[in-house]
Amino acid sequence: MIHIQSLDEGLALFKALGSDIRVEIVKILVAEGSSNMNDLATRLNITNGALTSHIKKLEECGIVQVTSETTGHGNQKICSVQPDNILIDIRAPKKNEAIYETDIKVGHFSDCHIEPTCGLASSEKVIGEVDDPRYFAHGERFDADILWFTRGFVEYDIPNFVPFNQKIDELSIAAEMCSEAPGYNNNYPSDIYFYLNDTLLGTWTSPGDFGDVKGLFTPDWWFPLWNQYGLLKMLVINHEGVFIDGQKLSDVTVDKLKLTHKTPLKLRLEVPENAKHVGGLTIFGKGFGNYNRDINVKMKYSNI
């Protein structure tokens, strides 16, 4: 997902998509998953040089990702669409809006129940043994920058340092995630349940566990047949309800949750055994995936 927080911030993206050819490029890549530069140029009936110029504009604004692939005929440049959604805030944030922001490392969960396949890794090594849930209690788990499991949950304590006598008007949580298949499988749906303080906020179905190309920040030592990147998802709870990437999930509001500076905040991400699609969960942090970021939390607040 690309999140544009004001119209001015989105100018480069708007210009990149302000071309029939570049829109057609995106449509082809979405339909086919990926394509090499030569095939794209042939389909569009343009020269390779002209295509390179168009791809560069799409790459600069984060729409298209270009990777090199070695074949029997040399290196090929493979193009694919990076984000699954583009979220645009038409109304820019208010000046001097009161916001508290924090990041949570993937391995800093406070509780869990895990079933294999599963594992954890830092940006330097796998932590413990793969498919052994006991290592989710190991001290080195705090160094984890990626974790994965088939069924179960991880729960995080969100630091709440909103000033005294303030209520939370909006809580947003952003993380890169996907399903968890043995190896990887781009078509492997999984129902991920989101809870805050034991209240179900809603569910999102991850479409797959992605490993067709290397993640932009995934370390070189990472196993090539394992998942490489996820989708950046933004969960927002405000006065109107719960939204993921701008689409409404439920009518649970911050008012119903009664969130203030006194409220402990526990975020749970779960794949229950009775879900329709039990396809696991992978959470990517810094040093992995396409976004190089930990779980990010923002709270907008005002006087009680």
Which tens digit of pLDDT belongs to each residue from 39-75? 999 999 999 899 999 999 998 888 898 888 776 666 7
Q: Which residue spans within 19-127 are E strands per DSSP?
A: 35-36, 64-71, 74-81, 86-88, 99-104, 111-121
Identify whether 88 is part of a domain.
Answer: no
Name the helix (H) or strand (E) containing 11. Answer: helix 11-16
Structural contact between residues 174 and 233, judged by C-beta atoms closer than 8 angstroms? yes
Q: What pLDDT is attached to residue 16?
A: 87
Looking at the structure, do residues 178 and 31 belong to the same domain, yes or no? no
Name the helix (H) or strand (E) containing 32. Answer: helix 20-32
Looking at the structure, do residues 104 and 244 belong to the same domain, yes or no? yes
Identify whether 89 is part of a domain.
Answer: no
Indicate whether 1 pLDDT > 80: no
Looking at the structure, do residues 227 and 117 belong to the same domain, yes or no? yes
Other beta carbons within 10 Å of 161: 9
Q: How far is CA 66 from the centre of its chain?
A: 19
Last-in-domain residue among 81, 103, 134: 81
Give the structural domain span for 152: 94-303
Looking at the structure, do residues 49 and 181 belong to the same domain, yes or no? no
Looking at the structure, do residues 28 and 127 belong to the same domain, yes or no? no
Measured CA to CA, the distance from residue 118 to residue 130 in angstroms comes to 6
List for the chain the helix, strand, coil content (%; round to 5): 20, 40, 40
Q: What pLDDT is attached to residue 113?
A: 97
Last-in-domain residue among 26, 49, 81: 81
Among 195, 193, 214, smallest CA distance to 204 is for 193
Q: Domain count of the chain?
A: 2
Looking at the structure, do residues 72 and 98 belong to the same domain, yes or no? no
Q: What pLDDT is attached to residue 75?
A: 77
Looking at the structure, do residues 110 and 246 belong to the same domain, yes or no? yes
Q: What pLDDT is attached to residue 30?
A: 87
Residue pLDDT, tens place only, 89-118: 776 666 667 999 999 999 999 999 999 999
CATH number of the domain enclosing 223: 2.60.120
Looking at the structure, do residues 133 and 236 belong to the same domain, yes or no? yes
Identify whether 87 is part of a domain.
Answer: no
Last-in-domain residue among 56, 81, 106: 81
**In the chain, what percentage of residues exceed pLDDT 90?**
75
pTM, two decimal places: 0.81
